[in-house]
Structure 1
Amino acid sequence: MRVLCFLLLGFLYEKVSGDRSFTIDDANNCFRKDGDCFHYISGSIHYFRIPACYWKDRLLKMYMTGLNAVQVYVPWNFHEPQPGMYIFDGDRDLEHFLDLTKELGLLVIIRPGPYICSEWDMGGLPAWLLNKQDISLRSSDPDYLNAVDSWLSVLLPRLRTRLYNNGGNIISVQVENEYGSFLACDYSYMRHLYHIFRLYLGDDVILFTTDGNTDYELKCGTLEGMHATVDFGPADNAKKAFDLLRRYQPTGPLVNSEYYTGWLDYWGESHSTVSAELVSQGLQTMLEMGANVNMYMFEGGTNFGYWNGADYKKTYKPITTSYDYDAPLTEAGDPTDKLLALRSVISKFLPVPQGPMPPPTPKYNYGYVTLQKVGDLQDFLDILCQGGPVVTRYPVTFEDVKQYFGFMLYRTRIPWEIPDMAILSDPFNGVHDRAYVSVDGNFAGVIERDHVRSTNVTGSSGDWLDVLVENMGRINFGAFFNDLKGLVANLTLGGDLLTDWLVYPLNIDGLIAEGWPHAPGNHIVMTTQTESHEGPVIYSGTFRITAKGDTFLKLIKWTKGQVWINGFNIGRYWPDRGPQVTLYVPGNILSTAEINNITVLELENAPDRLLVLLLDRPILNGTNKGV
């Protein structure tokens, strides 16, 4: 009987006549679409983790799997990188993405935040909020609410015409995200958001909340006037989770807003996987209960550039560049056995479109590329920091100088002779997040947040002590959102406090986007086998291709750093720690007509043979050790 209900009522097609409406029927515990009982089977996709040229391909594969809806986050920091600077074009063209969903007949469940988690830097909140000292994020703090109100006044009007009741395909809108997991439990804040959403979106749209399946999370995350939903994975007891939800949402449709098809990866841990059998069995169980389900993720995508977030579980845990998530569609958008298993389950409840599944995008093994040493990072401070350094008695943070991502170099003089060794120490755990230490251009070691608190240095009085600090991603979940970057506390040398710093905010991305170091006139020094490859060093190389497609970059025996191809920041690599060994290179950034450029910032130690390899497959569970 349940299967028949889905078959009869699950069609996406609009009625030929009559008013469009999407509402909640509390008496019958279902949604009503144009008056008929309706259930959705949805999948999460993040447009901000996928090049825009691939959006349609991914959405079509979701449609052909049998989904009738997609769930979409909107990251505030992606669209407002500086206060009042709004970007909605290119890979940030949210409205074009939504146009594609409608074109393919997919409904949309949208999650505009302002906080989204999503394992994204700072959970989608812009780091410039931290310019207000002592700001209380995700609360009724006036400084925070003023910024939120300003952002929502730009975003929400863009969504209003796209609501289902207004002729669009957005059927529901989430307010905040998993607020019950945040210790503030500020109902005034949630009520404020509720009124703002109603102001801009009207009274007819369904507003909802999503929380974990515990009493505390549902107590602090739900609010009268918004439909409560829950999230849990295939290892959880669905009946128990929904029974708990019924204490807070006694009537209306049951919804699992995040049914986990896989999980995220952290640097230094194994690649997360969940079996196709377990995920598909869990989906069938919930659909047989009459629940609405969104699968998180259906495609994960990639944390290009510096967009990955981090967790804090006793120690700081940065998230990998790949957000593959062991999802039904891979990081590169390819169908998996898990997708086929889910499609088989969905076909029991909804009519699945006929026809072949779109094939994987072409993958190419372009082979080896030889790189050359451009120079030590310190050699280019004049062009990487054209405004000159900040002169300060004590260290300042990234946020203090309004550089929110990437790298900053802190420089001071060694105050006395160190004939043997002295300990450079981080006594207050003030390195956020990883520091690369050099003395007079010679690499001395690494200090890492929560893990490595000191390194030994030697040098002469007056030598430059350089501390290059890498922002490895802001915390995206939990209570520690005010995650400042850089040297957030003082360092000591031999027990004495270091002072009188020159601080260089480095515009590496801007320079490389302009063509450096490959542009004519840039001098690239050829390396030799005996030349040192230790410490922060920039390397470059070129290659040609005759056919364009996706590929995966493997840095054989390289340690840790950042890679740009044709000026596009494809992300962080850290094969020395793993589990991710290769970086996804989308074919759209490559060229068959011109020479392709690779620029690498290796932070610790490059191999003697400066080779990288472009493969036709990813390696997401391994390390470079022993290669």
Structure 2
Amino acid sequence: MSERQGLRADSTHFTLDGAPFRILGGSIHYFRVPRAYWRDRLLKLKACGLNTLTTYVPWNLHEPERGVYLFQEELDLEAYIRLAGELGLWVILRPGPYICAEWDLGGLPSWLLQDKKMKLRTTYSGFTSAVNSYFDKLIPRVTPLQYKNGGPIIAVQVENEYGSYAKDEQYMSFIKEALLSRGISELLLTSDNHDGMNCGGVDGVLQTVNLQKLTFGDVQHLAELQPQKPLMVMEYWSGWFDVWGEPHHVFSAPEMISIVRELLDRGISINFYMFHGGTSFGFMNGALDLGTYKPQTSSYDYDAPLTESGDYTTKYHLLRSLLSTYSNEPISEPPAVQSRRAYEPLTVTHYISLWESLQCAETLFRADDPVNMESLPVNHNNGQSYGYTLYQTDIYSGGDLNSRNHVRDRALVFIDRELIGVLDYRTQKVKIPQSKSERTLSLLVENCGRVNYGPALDNQQKGLVGDITLDNVPLKKFTMHCLDMKTSFINRLQSQKWTSVGTKPTYPAFFRGSLVVDQPTDTFLKLPNWNKGVVFVNGHNLGRHWSVGPQKALYLPGPWLRSGDNEIVVFEELKAAETISFAENLEYGKTVDVSTQLFCTLI
């Protein structure tokens, strides 16, 4: 029996097992969707007329500490790929190691930043040795799932959009060889946007392009770069991501369909990024910094054909209608829409102040100078990755507190637990009232999300990353508390003594309430009249809330609820209300249509 012939790119069209083949793909990230809903989302993808699933693989989730690997439950990549195969979908795997994806540090683990000489995405030995160790664990899990072995994987991407970074001419060859030497034998691809097409390729690897509009001539440029090769848009941007404090992005459905129709009429293969965006649960959102730091929202709805909670949209129905005309056989019926409900508002009953919660923090560390989050001696010396860090020192006078732009990314400033100001990238000075008595200065510093794209990747240490001064004198003798707010921390917090909300809370604080559920159902949790913080339901971190919008509600998946009592804990920095509300749908503040914006930006 001859070996199966996988996906080939030997002429102007793809072939699969020798027959002409067009990739009609959609991106759904397993790590942004509760596992209980993987099947539902993939069935909806197939019922839209698509034949291929693409997914990134986030290194920072799979190796959260150096040498500690997680590939089970929500992170069971093999189960996700096998499920796609069982449902009749092909798979394009995008294993990184860098993925971008509006994901913290583009999916790279923060412990890499402990190395002061680290040069990410290069052949610097500290990076390549870490990649090799990770790939030694990751790649053998997916090689048996390749097409030649009877699995659904028909192609594998080499890194991601390297042409826009391109700091090392040898790097892409290194990643290519890292894949081949571990048994990857299916078609290799690269993907780049407009800016990176000329220098993102590597010998023997098919180039693809990422775009939203055809205005810039990217497809023609790709055809000129590699004549007599099939053309593919690896990321057709179906919408756009959101950042805190700016309008919600949408992209017109008719305009999208018009562009997609033109691509299909030209025989081009396409993958929708995103087909279903899902949620950047926890602290996993990334940030942009192309001159101004902009952290992204927890919702990754993306204005995609399927909403954050898996609902059909106008885009979905128009796309299904269009793709049905390109299919040789009838496409399957879409699954029924899942029910959602707006539970009755609940009243917050108890709180515990941040200051009282410190006894539950992982560690207390003292040093003469402030230590950045990644270098704290916690988590088996892998440092702190996410959340907040509290820095405290004693002061003996007042004056100008100057962060010298060493706050990453936002700090609440307290004198003897009284809030006196906020430091961030825009505000770098706070006036401290004069006093001759000894006082405690506290800075609660939040990692709002590491940059996931662009030249700033190497400089994503968080917390206090250098000296802060009081009247130009550097402050010394710091005590630091790691407040990464992992599930273990929230569980420890539950056993502490909580105060009834009848007493005026001291901020910041954790607030607690109970949601009683008969039949667990998807919902959206809302916090009107609250300010900023994080929400936990039964220990699951739903993500960040912030009154600046545009996101006005957090997706709460039904599988994370249980019949009976459900514990909701809200960490609130500045201002809590008495109630927590619920809604059936994701809610936004102001919205802007990106089809009116001429940009060639970046995923």
Specify the TM-score bucket, using the shorter chain as the normaliser: over 0.9
CA distance in 2, matches of 1:403, 1:353: 51
Using the TM superposition, give the Cα deviation of residue 513 of structure 1 relative to its aligned residue in structure 2, in angstroms: 4.6
CA distance in 1, matches of 2:73, 2:432: 46
CA distance in 2, matches of 1:572, 1:210: 31
* 1:197 has 2:179 as partner: yes
Quick one: structure 1 residues 321 and 359, their matched pair in 2 at CA, closer, same or farther if it must change by over 3 Å?
same
Using the TM superposition, give the Cα deviation of residue 587 of structure 1 relative to its aligned residue in structure 2, in angstroms: 0.7
Q: Secondary structure at the match of 2:497?
A: coil
CA distance in 2, matches of 1:474, 1:48: 18
- Percent of aligned positions with the same letter in both sequences? 38
Counterpart residue number, 1:613: 581
Counterpart residue number, 2:345: 368
Of 138, 141, 149, 2:124 maps to 141
Encode CA deviations 1:546-589: one digit per residue, 9 max, x unaligned.
12111111101101001101111100001x21100101101111
Counterpart residue number, 2:374: 399
Contact 2:374 2:461 in 1 (8 A): yes
Counterpart residue number, 2:520: 548
Name stretches of at least 5 consecutive residues in structure 1 with no aligned partner.
1-16
Counterpart residue number, 1:14: none
Encode CA deviations 1:72-113: one digit per residue, 9 max, x unaligned.
111111100011111001110101111110110000011000
* 1:220 has 2:237 as partner: no
Contact 1:414 1:460 in 2 (8 A): no
Counterpart residue number, 1:577: 548
Contact 2:324 2:330 in 1 (8 A): no
* 1:454 has 2:424 as partner: no
Encode CA deviations 1:214-238: one digit per residue, 9 max, x unaligned.
4xx12221011101111110x3338
Contact 2:290 2:454 in 1 (8 A): no
CA distance in 1, matches of 2:271, 2:225: 20
CA distance in 2, matches of 1:70, 1:382: 46
Counterpart residue number, 1:413: 394
CA distance in 2, matches of 1:134, 1:49: 32
Q: Supply the AA of the counterpart residue of 2:411.
A: A
Q: Supply the AA of the counterpart residue of 2:183.
A: L
Q: Secondary structure at the match of 1:61?
A: helix
1:427-442 to 2 correspondence within 5 Å? Answer: 427=404, 429-442=405-418
* 1:527 has 2:501 as partner: yes
CA distance in 1, matches of 2:82, 2:534: 34
Quick one: structure 1 residues 198 and 539, their matched pair in 2 at CA, closer, same or farther if it must change by over 3 Å?
same
CA distance in 2, matches of 1:477, 1:334: 29
CA distance in 2, matches of 1:441, 1:208: 54
Encode CA deviations 1:509-545: one digit per residue, 9 max, x unaligned.
244553632x5xx32211237x255x31111111201
Encode CA deviations 1:465-509: one digit per residue, 9 max, x unaligned.
110111111110001112000000211223322111111112532
CA distance in 1, matches of 2:175, 2:211: 25
Using the TM superposition, give the Cα deviation of residue 371 of structure 1 relative to its aligned residue in structure 2, in angstroms: 1.1
Of 73, 78, 102, 1:95 maps to 78
Counterpart residue number, 2:601: none
CA distance in 1, matches of 2:420, 2:27: 44
CA distance in 2, matches of 1:478, 1:99: 34
Q: Supply the AA of the counterpart residue of 1:232.
A: L
Contact 1:213 1:244 in 2 (8 A): no
Using the TM superposition, give the Cα deviation of residue 59 of structure 1 relative to its aligned residue in structure 2, in angstroms: 0.2
Counterpart residue number, 1:587: 558
Using the TM superposition, give the Cα deviation of residue 53 of structure 1 relative to its aligned residue in structure 2, in angstroms: 0.5
Contact 1:176 1:209 in 2 (8 A): yes
Contact 2:188 2:206 in 1 (8 A): yes
Of 166, 180, 191, 1:210 maps to 191
Normalising by structure 2, report the TM-score. 0.94
Counterpart residue number, 1:236: 214
RMSD (Å), alpha carbons: 1.7
Quick one: structure 1 residues 91 and 25, their matched pair in 2 at CA, closer, same or farther if it must change by over 3 Å?
closer
Counterpart residue number, 2:403: 426
Q: Secondary structure at the match of 1:508?
A: coil
Contact 2:487 2:540 in 1 (8 A): no
Runs of 4+ residues deviating >6 angstroms = none
* 1:120 has 2:96 as partner: no
Quick one: structure 1 residues 565 and 365, their matched pair in 2 at CA, closer, same or farther if it must change by over 3 Å?
same
1:51-130 to 2 correspondence within 5 Å? Answer: 51-130=34-113
Quick one: structure 1 residues 515 and 502, their matched pair in 2 at CA, closer, same or farther if it must change by over 3 Å?
closer
Counterpart residue number, 2:449: 473
Task: Report the count of equivalent residues.
Answer: 583
Q: Supply the AA of the counterpart residue of 1:287.
A: L
Counterpart residue number, 2:571: 601
Encode CA deviations 1:345-374: one digit per residue, 9 max, x unaligned.
111111464553112221111121111342
Normalising by structure 1, report the TM-score. 0.90
Q: Supply the AA of the counterpart residue of 2:193.
A: G
CA distance in 1, matches of 2:331, 2:219: 33
CA distance in 2, matches of 1:539, 1:473: 23
Quick one: structure 1 residues 605 and 57, their matched pair in 2 at CA, closer, same or farther if it must change by over 3 Å?
same
Q: Supply the AA of the counterpart residue of 2:148.
A: N
Contact 1:66 1:352 in 2 (8 A): no
CA distance in 2, matches of 1:507, 1:135: 23
Name stretches of at least 5 consecutive residues in structure 2 with no aligned partner.
377-382, 592-603
Of 36, 40, 45, 2:28 maps to 45
Quick one: structure 1 residues 352 and 322, their matched pair in 2 at CA, closer, same or farther if it must change by over 3 Å?
farther
